Amino acid sequence: MWLNLMFYALGWFMFLYLQMVNSLRSESNGLKNDWNGMKTWLKLQSSVIIWRAFLSVIFYPTIIQKMTDSLEPLLTAYNLKIYNWGFSGLAGFGACGVLYQLTGLFSSLRGREPANFIPPITENESDTGAQENTVNNSVKHTDSSTKPPESPGNP
């Protein structure tokens, strides 16, 4: 039983890790592909992660049963075998993926997108400058030395 739970959690966290790495490698936001980028992503997605974890735990028995019922006949037909902990790992991975897709359908359940809070990294920015504008500092600052454009009628 404990081995099944451990592999279910491992599969669940594997999907979450792959989702985080995909987001960190995306060029549409300013998240760095390092520990600070991971922490920022986790802050942005924390409410959705908690929601998905809650539902995954509540529906654990149903998910395991559905996964077993779906794959057992297929594996038996080809004379293959997967141990129960293997089903648990696949079920954890699948549960996190399905809940990720379902939460994306409802705007109130979606996490905060990094691109809305952290602008994309430009080539001119240094490695330390991109993470300066974190979640709490989402307001864009303008340079005060630039003048507004003059109207064409005023010389």
In terms of pLDDT, which residue wins out, 129 or 54? 54
91-111: average pLDDT: 82
- Residue 121 falls within a domain, yes or no? no
Share of the chain above pLDDT 90, in %: 14
- Residue 119 falls within a domain, yes or no? no
pLDDT at 141 > cutoff 90: no
- Residue 126 falls within a domain, yes or no? no
Q: Which residue range(s) make up the domain with 68?
A: 2-111
29-40: average pLDDT: 86
Helix (H) or strand (E) holding 120: none
What span, in angstroms and rounded, lies between the C-alpha atoms of 126 and 34? Answer: 15
* 95 token code pair: 């549960």
Q: DSSP assignment, residue 131?
A: G
- Residue 92 falls within a domain, yes or no? yes
| Whether pTM exceeds 0.85 | no
For the chain, the domain total comes to: 1
- Residue 118 falls within a domain, yes or no? no
